[in-house]
Amino acid sequence: MGTLRLPPEVDAVFREFRTCEFTTVNRQGQPLTWPTEPFYDAQEGRIIVTSSIAFPVKAYNARSHPQVALLFSDATGAPLTDPPAVLVQGDATVAELVDDPPWSYEMFKESILRQPNTRSFVSNPVARGLFTFQFQRLAIFV
């Protein structure tokens, strides 16, 4: 897709918000919304949401009904003053991550910075071994 030209306040929301509400549509045509941690891949002009292979409903829904929405409405934890709410509607594509694409390292670093307690979990080899499924991800690109 390439770089997007966004108003500075929207770009700041994408870069700084800790969570967004991600909505998919299930097979019955019902919307399902989850709080999720988005990653803004500015270089590619897309937002990436991941899902553990243990909890793949978001990815399944996005595959069967690619029209999705992301609502950035809660600025808790973001270093922004009075940011706008931003609604993104688009078509999603889903990919199983069998390798580590370059953006995944950036996403992981951001996640650790946003949730510092995660460090103790990922630094423990026993926890990493027991919860391998948590680290295997499905990527949803919007």
What does the pLDDT look like over 22-37, one tens digit per residue? 999 999 999 999 999 8
Say which residues have a Cβ less than 8 Å from residue 124's Cβ, sequence separation at least 6: none
Q: Rounded CA gap, 91 and 37, in Å?
A: 18
> What is the pLDDT confidence band of residue 118, given thresholds at 50, 70 and 90?
low
CB of 50 within 8 A of CB of 107?
A: yes
The mean pLDDT value of the chain amounts to: 83
Q: pLDDT digits over 33-51, tens only? A: 999 989 898 888 999 898 8
- If one compares 110 and 21, the residue with the highest pLDDT of the two is 21
Q: How confident is the model at residue 133 (pLDDT cuts 50, 70, 90)?
A: very low
pLDDT value of position 56: 85
The structure's pTM equals 0.75
pLDDT tens, position by position, 67-104: 999 999 999 989 999 999 999 999 999 987 656 667 66
DSSP states of the chain as a string? -------HHHHHHHHH-S-EEEEEE-TTS-EEEEEE--EEETTTTEEEEEEETTS-HHHHHHHHS-EEEEEE---TT-S-SSPPPEEEEEE-EEEE-SS--HHHHHHHHHHHHH-TTHHHHHT-HHHHHHTHHHHSEEEEE-
* pLDDT the model gives residue 100: 66
* Architecture, CATH, for domain 8-141: Roll (2.30)
Residue 116 has a pLDDT of: 65
pLDDT of residue 63: 93
Q: Which of 102, 93, 94, 90 is nearest to 137 (CA)?
A: 94
- Give the pLDDT band of residue 55 (cuts 50, 70, 90): confident
Written as one letter, the residue type at 17 is: F
